[in-house]
Structure 1
Amino acid sequence: MSMRRKCQFSGVALVALMWSGIAVAQDAPTAAEASGAATSAGSGIGEIVVTANKREQNLNDVGVTAAVMGGDALKQQNLSSLSDVASRVPSLSYAAAPNGTPVYTLRGVGFYETSIGAYPSVSIYVDEIPLSFPVLTTHSTFDLERLEVLKGPQGTLFGQNATGGAINYIAAKPTDTFRAGATVTYGRFNQVDAEGYVSGPITDTLKARVAGRAEFGDGWQVSTTRPGDRNGKVENYMGRLQVVWEPVSSLRFLLNVNGWKDKSETQAGQYIAQQFQNEGLAIPPNPVGSWRDPAILATPFSANDPRAADWSNSSTLFPGQKVPFADNDMIQASLRADLDVGDFGTLTSLTAYTRFNERQGNDSDGMAINALDVPLTLGRIETVYQELRFANNPHNPFRFVLGGNYEWDKVDQQVNIDYFNSSARIGFGDLFGFPLSVDTITNNQRMRNYAFFGNVEYDVIENLTLKAGIRYTNARDKANICQSDPRAPYNLGNILKYFGAQYQGIPFQRYIPGECVSINVDSVAAQNGQFVPVVDYLPFGGIGDYHSTLAEDNVSWRVGADYKLTPGTLLYVNVSKGYKAGSFPSITGSTLNQYVPVHQESVLAYEGGIKATLLDRTLQVNLAGFYYDYRDKQLRTKLLDPTFGQLDVLQNIPKSSIKGFELELTARPSNHLTVNAAYTYLDARIDKFKGFNAGGDPEDFAGTAIPYTPKHQVSVSANYNQPVTSSLNMFLGATINYRSKTIATLGGDVNPSTVIAASTNCVYCINDYAVIDAQIGIEDTDKRWRAFIWGKNIGNAYYWTNVVSGYDTVSRFAGRPATYGVTLSYDFR
């Protein structure tokens, strides 16, 4: 039996076992064995602490669905990024975007957009300070107390961009006594990771913690055309300084200064198919394969191997520069102040400033030529955040949180695109005398958001708690988007001016360097032969930039009830509605229509569940069922451009729906063994939308699956700890994670008519896969030191997390192959 079938069988058997043995359940922490997230309760399962209501509570007392991983478990399992964590949390999916921007989807709710200035659908926080854009989250998984994944809309307390949920990093805090520690790892591909911290008191009222991490490694991808060439070098640096000052018992300050530097090589794609264009109105039909660059036709498809890939070692825009590279950095400073107002409650202030700089190149086509490369992206983000809230005494039967926050964001991005070897150069050169090969897009945005929120809980009787929350959000996004031609003889600029002149009926004039050259016609209406201008500040057919302001507001809310059936059993029900802000894209657009923003999306969620602690705290069973009414989902799709054929566009999907359930079991039959098993079922569908698939074919997508939403997700893990001597313990652990088949684009389960592949396999599918990780080692009984060997994807499974279409190509982004190594750590106390 193949490994895939074994894992499928194991998942089905696991679910059957859960249902036959237990009649109650909901969602407890994934990896509840994580000692860093739980407090000991004898031989039973420890209590798990979460901050879902912006105050620390026992997870089993809170009617939310959450997964929690402790800092100790993250270290033992060598999970050093949020993409690693996503592979362990059922219902949380990670996709590698071509430009390296991480995309997270939780329970089918996510936003696939590669612009650095796009708000996510899954909000991410470090100690309640937002990392407002996904690109800021790349290197935050170090020196943590725990990590929390809150599932379902969290808009009332965590803001409008948490329609899918929220992820909270809880950093390890300064200690009351001196402590220090260091961890060193050596692994495959010459991986060297070093992490350490120093923590303790400075005075009676002041204590601090300094932590840092450095990561190095050789390239793991092997060039298809240059077998001796490697890509994927790792060079990252992370640091965090925290200072706690408590001048009096009622007043506390926490200063947190953290940041990272990324000088790694970005991942290259795997070239898996050719894709010719569904021609625009301006181009006569042409036979398949015409206007093909011989270099594309001569390039072989990548092997079905996790290491196989290819990339460009030069660019026509930047000769001699290897395309995949990064030189990015982020720094954040935040100050938290807590003032106790007698015994009544606590006033909390959160102030933060974040800055991010991007300079990187990405190879999207998976080829050694420039069919579609982004050799240089420049970006900058600045964010200012302020929150003020008041929470009353948490021991009061009536508990409330009232507050407001303000955020200001400045996001600038310049994307340079090189498609010298594409059919655009040959086709437009033959037809019009303008061989196209380069493009530059700039997107400058200024965003302002403010909100007011409140959340209440009331213990009606001893076992029954009613809950309600509401938030009003007002958002404004002012954008200026410009497409220009960066290089003489300015073929892109000239051809767009030529077509603009045709629309206007005026003489053609040559491109002026620096001009913005997208055309003011509505390309969607153009499909019916009717041309409608998009903006009123340019004439019909005129060329220029796109500037607009997106102003939105909304009211998110949540109501629910928690009922303690017994001291160890909690039943709960929640109904909530959340919103995600609208967004402007950063894409090449021949017409201004492609820059029109999508407006805000909403999720109305119904959820109920049960949490049960059984058998003298040796068994925890959790079950949650949910249904989402998903309106105006924001999705990157395709349109048929009148000049260039199929191009990218952001669109709102009018109506979608998601239903499913999550079942989790954690058993601790002895002090030595903890077993955790989880299963998630998702049925995520588009209910209403007509558009174009990735190949430019018109299609009615009603009833088709939402991308990046595997129907079945299974995670099974076991951790065993056994004393060897009075001062020495042996431990071992293993995890199997299985994800069923999904798709990377709308209608991706059927190959478009424009695709030419090596086989009839579904090119836009993300096939099902199973990944096995394991660890074995020794440690002293006081956990002062630890030594272990570990393996990730030890079966060397070939899987991928994303498939993207270029102008002529389709490529996929594979998961890393088998990696293994040894880790040594020591704590000084």
Structure 2
Amino acid sequence: MAVSQVKARSLEMSGSEQIEELSKVVPALTVIQGDTPANSAYSLRGIGTVAYSISAEPSVLVQVDDVPAMFQARSFMDMTDVDRIEILRGPQNTLYGRSASGGAVNIMTAGPTKEFTASLTNVMTSDEERRVSFHTSGPAANDLYFRVAVNLGDYAGSVKNLTLNKTVNGYTSQSLRTKLLWSPSRQTQALLTAWYSHNRTTCCAYALYEIPDGATLNPDGGPVEEGQDVFLKDIMPGEHNRTLHQDTRTFADLLDGGASLKFDHIFGGGFRFSSVSTVTDFRMRDQIDSDGGVIPNYATRQISAGRLSQSDYDNLLNVEPRFANFTTQGNVQFGTYHSSGKTQEFRLLSPADPFRYMVGVFVADHEVSLESARGPAFRQHRWNALATNRDADLFGQIDWTFQPRNSLSVGARSQHKTIGYRFDDLLAGASFSGEHKETANSYRASLQHTSDQDDTLYVALATGFKGAAFDLTSGFNQDRADRGPARPETTKSIEAGWRVRNTKGDYANLSVFRVDYENFQSQAADYDASTDFLTNIDEVRTQGVEFDAFRRMSPDWRLTLAGHYLDAKVVKYTGAPCYPGQTVAEGCSGAPGRQNLSGRQLPYAPRWKFNVMSDNHFRPDPNHWLVVSSVYRWQSATLMSMNQDPRARQKSFGILDLSAGLHDRGGKYSVTAFVNNVFDTFYVAARQSDGRTNSMSVVQIPARDSARYVGVRMTFSH
């Protein structure tokens, strides 16, 4: 299959400190940025699921040390003590089960060592990012080894909120990961891992990119509005605008903890038994300024204008007293999430002879709850939702080597799922609940041939599956309950590849693929009715060519190249909502407005994307190495909205990062200076039309490294 492996050194060269920055080194991976981690997602080969419903599963599975992130927001945490990362593209259900219909991201952190080691790294940048990481590892007792890793980070952000005089779109993080390895023999090992992480992010606040002359802030289209002298004071909209007005803080506070126990034993006949047990607990509290700027005393003015009744306002305050603290501001939205789960997996692997097999069992019990509130002035809601998910899977794989250089692999997985929900609308005084059961089978088969020169040719067929999901979002009512969940997503994939390697470690990989998705799950917005809903797109297709290569140009110069050409499009979607302001001439008709998106491009799927990494080693004296590195990445224009809004587009751009580091030959210390975004190239993580102004404006989130900054990284080791 098509696999990318990223080592810790590559992450350091690219300045990738958080998991959402992996796209810097893996062209196939893209981060879909929402206004909160709960509404963000990862995309591989143009496939990623953005869904507001807590019942919906992601398309790309992220797991750390064999522990799956069963709730998508859990994926947006710190990377602590990473050893390597594997990105598996295309459907991976046969081995990874749920949430892997688009691919998988496996993060492996460093393990305990038999010799005592310790390391301290400090990173400081000119735009006020600070990161400190520490790890120590070694023997604790006979046959017992430990590792402790701590990571601290702080970044003020890239955007200034002029109203509150705060820099936003930054973060503060603390994480701890501990491991204890018991290894009484080469045949038996048990690894206990425990972790705790706390991230507080002030992302994601939108800055104005474009606003028509005379436009006013008018969040719900009613008679109450605010002039530009208030919500645009001291702000110059444009591509490089990094200022905004918000009278309410936008933030997300994330807490993640858990433990896993992995046990391996090799029997006398060569059979290997593995067990992985996990328990996780994740909590998130977020707050979003949902009115688009500053509109003082909005609730009072709405009541005076007859847009909001006093009884509805009082009822909201009765069920959610927190709104009493926002009587002089505009609108705000609260979310309180709690995700907890347990998983258990057993695998039995036969000895490595010409015919090898693996069988496994996987069970999981997971639930997510959300308390959501929005108000007090417009689009009021206050509801509680609970989504439950139970899995019981049986899977296996057979590998057969026939003749010395040909092999066949066949894998299958049978998934038995039960999903349930409860939805309590506290404003309407209504409650709903339900359950849905489904069984799905996934398959994978691949044929591989290795030549006398160790070149490899392969072809692989695979199917995938992503379960049904209840639409647990604002507007849930009896009609949604009667319709049941959004249909499950099914996948068919064909892939072929060619791999060339030599004895020096140089390699080149080329793969071509086509993947078809039916009933693709997608979030949609009905701007006429001011509602969001989860829907199925009839058919989506992603196809293209991927390549990556590594070559030692000389004993001290290494060059890595990776990229893709991607054609990701909607094959059939005839009843799609229109984008804000879309006219009949632009393809929007009916009430509410609908358009035909068949044949159109998928969002966050640039056609061309590549990066080049160069690593040069020099020896200024016998005791030191000077390492000079450069990373250049480029991508073509990117659409950022499923509804094809032409204003939600990022033009093509390229980013160059440079670094130079002095390393002690014995590995005791290193000092590296770096310049990221050398040419000060601006680009955005998200851009969209904003219907909260009249006439309509365009807003955006500047990317973390959308401006040049310099820094230094210092590491001391023992």
What TM-score does the superposition give when structure 2 sets the normalisation length?
A: 0.86
Aligned partner letter, 2:608: H
> What is the rounded CA distance, in whole Å, between the counterparts of 2:254 and 2:106 in structure 1?
23
State the match for 1:662 in structure 2: 546
> Which range moved further: 552-561 or 184-193?
184-193
Aligned partner letter, 1:578: G
Shift of 1:797: 2.2
> What is the rounded CA distance, in whole Å, between the counterparts of 1:242 and 1:183 in structure 2?
20
1:576 aligns with 2:518: no
Aligned pair partner of 2:190 in 247, 253, 258: 253
In structure 2, the CA distance between the partners of 1:363 and 1:707, relative to structure 1 (3 Å rule), is same
SS in 2 for 1:645: coil
> What is the rounded CA distance, in whole Å, between the counterparts of 2:670 and 2:433 in structure 1?
57
Aligned pair partner of 1:451 in 374, 393, 415: 393
Question: Is this contact kept in 2: 1:311–1:363, CA < 8 A?
Answer: no
Structure 2 counterparts to residues 144-543 of structure 1, below 5 A: 144-223=82-161, 225-226=162-163, 228-272=165-209, 291=223, 293-295=225-227, 299-300=231-232, 303-305=237-239, 308-314=242-248, 323-363=249-289, 366-369=292-295, 374-393=332-351, 395-418=352-375, 420=377, 436=378, 438-485=380-427, 515-516=428-429
Structure 2 counterparts to residues 508-657 of structure 1, below 5 A: 515-516=428-429, 544-589=430-475, 591-593=477-479, 596-614=484-502, 617=504, 619-639=506-526, 645-657=529-541
Unaligned runs of 5+ in 1: 1-63, 276-285, 315-322, 421-435, 486-514, 517-543, 750-761
Shift of 1:327: 2.7
Shift of 1:78: 2.8
Aligned partner letter, 2:175: M
State the match for 2:676 in structure 1: 792
Residue-by-residue CA offset, 1:93-126 (whole Å, 9 max, x unaligned): 1021111233101012110124455321111111
Question: Is this contact kept in 1: 2:51–2:523, CA < 8 A?
Answer: yes
Shift of 1:375: 3.9
Question: Is this contact kept in 2: 1:92–1:107, CA < 8 A?
Answer: yes
State the match for 2:307 in structure 1: none
Aligned pair partner of 2:564 in 680, 694, 702: 680
State the match for 1:521 in structure 2: none
SS in 1 for 2:554: coil
SS in 2 for 1:86: helix
Question: Is this contact kept in 2: 1:269–1:365, CA < 8 A?
Answer: no
1:96 aligns with 2:53: no
Shift of 1:579: 0.8
SS in 2 for 1:110: coil
Shift of 1:341: 1.5
Question: Is this contact kept in 1: 2:396–2:412, CA < 8 A?
Answer: yes
1:770 aligns with 2:650: no
1:120 aligns with 2:58: yes
SS in 2 for 1:135: helix
Aligned partner letter, 2:579: A
Question: Is this contact kept in 2: 1:637–1:745, CA < 8 A?
Answer: no
State the match for 1:11 in structure 2: none
Shift of 1:220: 2.9
Residue-by-residue CA offset, 1:630-658 (whole Å, 9 max, x unaligned): 11110111347xxx624211111111212
Shift of 1:272: 4.3
> What is the rounded CA distance, in whole Å, between the counterparts of 1:698 and 1:725 in structure 2?
69
In structure 2, the CA distance between the partners of 1:260 and 1:824, relative to structure 1 (3 Å rule), is same
Shift of 1:178: 0.5
Aligned partner letter, 1:603: T
Aligned partner letter, 1:236: S
In structure 2, the CA distance between the partners of 1:272 and 1:253, relative to structure 1 (3 Å rule), is same
> What is the rounded CA distance, in whole Å, between the counterparts of 1:328 and 1:747 in structure 2?
30
> What is the rounded CA distance, in whole Å, between the counterparts of 1:76 and 1:807 in structure 2?
40
State the match for 2:49 in structure 1: 111
In structure 2, the CA distance between the partners of 1:556 and 1:382, relative to structure 1 (3 Å rule), is same
1:703 aligns with 2:599: yes
Shift of 1:152: 1.0
Aligned partner letter, 1:636: Q
Residue-by-residue CA offset, 1:158-179 (whole Å, 9 max, x unaligned): 1131111111111100001101
Shift of 1:136: 1.2
State the match for 1:689 in structure 2: 573
Aligned partner letter, 1:693: C
- How many pairs were matched up? 657
> What is the rounded CA distance, in whole Å, between the counterparts of 2:634 and 2:41 in structure 1?
19
> What is the rounded CA distance, in whole Å, between the counterparts of 2:291 and 2:110 in structure 1?
41
Shift of 1:562: 0.9
Aligned partner letter, 1:187: T
Residue-by-residue CA offset, 1:502-536 (whole Å, 9 max, x unaligned): xxxxxxxxxxxxx34xxxxxxxxxxxxxxxxxxxx
> Which range moved further: 740-749 or 143-152?
740-749
What TM-score does the superposition give when structure 1 sets the normalisation length?
A: 0.75
SS in 2 for 1:304: coil
In structure 2, the CA distance between the partners of 1:272 and 1:73, relative to structure 1 (3 Å rule), is closer
State the match for 1:782 in structure 2: 666
Residue-by-residue CA offset, 1:131-166 (whole Å, 9 max, x unaligned): 212211222412121111111111100113111111
> What is the rounded CA distance, in whole Å, between the counterparts of 2:628 and 2:354 in structure 1?
44
In structure 2, the CA distance between the partners of 1:767 and 1:203, relative to structure 1 (3 Å rule), is same
Shift of 1:305: 4.7
Shift of 1:201: 0.7
In structure 2, the CA distance between the partners of 1:209 and 1:117, relative to structure 1 (3 Å rule), is farther
Shift of 1:410: 1.5
Aligned pair partner of 2:625 in 706, 729, 733: 729
Residue-by-residue CA offset, 1:326-381 (whole Å, 9 max, x unaligned): 33210010001112111321111110000011112134565234898554211101
SS in 2 for 1:125: strand
Aligned partner letter, 2:465: Y
Question: Is this contact kept in 2: 1:483–1:589, CA < 8 A?
Answer: no
1:136 aligns with 2:74: yes
Shift of 1:267: 2.4
> What is the rounded CA distance, in whole Å, between the counterparts of 2:283 and 2:711 in structure 1?
32
> Which range moved further: 253-262 or 685-694?
685-694
Residue-by-residue CA offset, 1:52-111 (whole Å, 9 max, x unaligned): xxxxxxxxxxxx211111123323433111111123211111021111233101012110
> Which range moved further: 65-74 or 804-813?
804-813
1:738 aligns with 2:634: yes
Per chain length, whose mean CA-contact separation is higher, i.e. which structure has more relative contact order (CA < 8 Å, sep 6+)? Answer: 1
In structure 2, the CA distance between the partners of 1:211 and 1:747, relative to structure 1 (3 Å rule), is same
Question: Is this contact kept in 1: 2:683–2:702, CA < 8 A?
Answer: yes
> What is the rounded CA distance, in whole Å, between the counterparts of 2:479 and 2:683 in structure 1?
36
Shift of 1:610: 0.2
> What is the rounded CA distance, in whole Å, between the counterparts of 1:673 and 1:820 in structure 2?
24
> Percent of aligned pairs with the same residue?
22
